[in-house]
Structure 1
Amino acid sequence: MTAKQRFVAYYRVSTRKQQASGLGIEAQRTAVANYLGDRTAKVVAEFTEIESGKRSDRPALGQALTAARVHQAALVVAKVDRLTRSVGFLSRLLEAGVDVRFADLPAIEGPTGRFMLQQMAAVAELEAGLISSRTKAALSAARARGQQLGGNRGTQLSSAAKAKGRQAQAQSAQRRANDLAQVLEELRADGASSPTELARALTARGIPTARGGVTWTAPQVSRIEARLLSSKPTQHQGK
C-alpha cells in the first residue's frame, strides 16, 4: 500500500470579520483540496492566521511550520500571496527546512524550485506596491529579473566545509528535538513516562522519526530528551 504524503494546510485572512463570515477561507480550502486532488495525501493539521500579509510576526504560521517539521509534512497554501508579499520574509521561510507547496504553482522542489518561488514572490511583492497601476509590462520586467543558476560539481570538500556540514546536521537535530518538545510534554501528561512508553505513544500518533520511519524506539526518544536537556541554560546558584 502506498504511504500517504503528509500535508499541513495554512490559511490566512486579513480581518476577524472575514474569519467569522468564512469569506476567503472556504475559497482557500477549495483550492487546497483541488491541488491535493486524487493524489494519496493526508492533511495532518490546519492553521488559520488573522494577519496582514505584510507582517512577518505570525504565530499560526510558526505553529504550522513546527507541525510540518514534526510530521515531516509539506506546508500547503492556496496562493503564493496568501503566505507573504515580502521576498525577504519568504527567503527566511525557505530556510526553515520545510517543503512549501502552493495550490496555484507546481511543486516547489530543489534549487530550481526555490529560485522559481523567489521570482513568483517578487511578482507578488510588486503587485502589493502597484495594485492601483499594475500592468503587464511591469510584471514582465519583474519576471525578467533573475540570476544565473550553477554550482561546482565534483569538488572535494575542505575540512572547514565538512565541519560546517556537521554543525548544520547538529543544528537540524536540535531543531527537530525542539519541535518535539511540546509533543513529549503532552504524552507525559497523558501518562507516558519512560522512553519505551514515549516511543510507543509517538508511533501511535503517526509522527515519523527523523529519517521518516514509522516506528520509534526507546534509544531514539532518549537521544531527543538528551538534546533537550543539554539545550537548557545552566543555572548557577550563589553561595
Structure 2
Amino acid sequence: MQFIAYYRVSTQRQGISGLGLEAQQDIVEDYIRRQEGKLLHIYTEIESGKRDDRPQLLKALQHCQLTNSTLVVSKLDRLSRDLHFLSTVMKSGIPFICCDQPNSGTLVLQVLAAVAEEERRMISERTRLALAAAKKRGVKLGNPRLHEIRNSCMKNARGTWQKNNDEFNQAIRPVIESLQQQGFDTYTALASELNRLGFKTRYGRQFYSATVRNILLGQDK
C-alpha cells in the first residue's frame, strides 16, 4: 500500500519545536512499517482542529487522489474535530487510516468524531459564558481594529484560494496531457475519461469539458 501522511500541530511553537509532531511521526511510521507499506509524502499543518480550511490537508487529499494512496493520521483528532468535515472526507472516496482506530469502520469513526465535536461545542459554550460574565463586570471586549483585521484576512484568503487553485491545476494537468497522448483528443473525451478513472475536480465534483479546457488554457477561476 502507498500512504500519504498528514500531521497537524495546533501552534507555531509546536511546529518549530517538534512538540507533538515527533509522536505523530513515530505512530504513523510504525503503522506503515507493520503494513509493509510505502510512505510517499508528508504534509504538516500548523492549525487549529476547529477550522476546516486547511491547505495542507487539501494538498494531502489531492495527492492521495492522484496517486491512489491512503491518507494516514496518528489519531482521529489530528484529522478533524468536526463531524461534517470528517464526513466530507469520507464521502470523497479517498481511503484513510487513523492509527488509533485502524480496524474501525465508517460508523465507528463517525461516532467518535461526533463525541469529539460535542466536546468542542462544550468548550465553546464555556468560553461564551465566561465572556458574558466578563462583560457584565464591565470588561471591554472586542478589537477596535476588527474591520482592518477582517479586510486583511479576506485578502489573505483570496491569495490562498488562488495558490491552492494553481497547485491543483499543476497537479492534474500532467494527467490530462497523458490522456491526450493516449488518443483522447477532445475536451469531452478527456472529461469522461477523468471521471471514469475516479478523478475529481478541486471541489470534489466531476469533470466537464469546460473544466478541462479551463485547466489546459490556464483559465480555471
TM-score, normalised with respect to structure 1: 0.56
**Are the aligned partners of 1:70 and 1:180 in contact in 2 as well (CA < 8 Å)?**
no
Please give the residue correspondences for 1:1-239 in structure 2 after superposition, counting only pairs within 5 Å.
5-107=1-103, 113-130=105-122, 181-183=169-171, 185=173, 198=178, 218-219=181-182, 226-227=190-191, 230-231=210-211, 232=213
**Are the aligned partners of 1:78 and 1:102 in contact in 2 as well (CA < 8 Å)?**
yes
Aligned residues: 155
Residues 137-185 of structure 1 deviation map (CA, whole Å, 9 limit, x = unaligned): xxxxxxxxxxxxxxxxxxxxxxxxxxxxxxxxxxxxxxxxx99842365
Residues 71-122 of structure 1 deviation map (CA, whole Å, 9 limit, x = unaligned): 10110000001111111111111112210100101245xxxx1111101111
Give the partner amino acid of 1:117. Answer: L
Give the partner amino acid of 2:106. Answer: R
Provide the alpha-carbon RMSD of the alignment.
3.2
Compute the displacement of 1:44 (Å).
0.9
Give the partner amino acid of 2:38. Answer: K
CA distance in 2, matches of 1:51, 1:38: 29
TM-score, normalised with respect to structure 2: 0.60
CA distance in 2, matches of 1:47, 1:27: 15
Give the partner amino acid of 1:27. Answer: A
Instruction: Flag the 1:107–1:230 CA change in 2: closer, same or farther, 3 A.
Output: farther
CA distance in 1, matches of 2:183, 2:98: 33
Structure 2 unmatched runs, 5+: 124-165, 192-206
Structure 1 unmatched runs, 5+: 132-177, 189-193, 200-216
Question: Counterpart in 1 of 2:161?
Answer: none
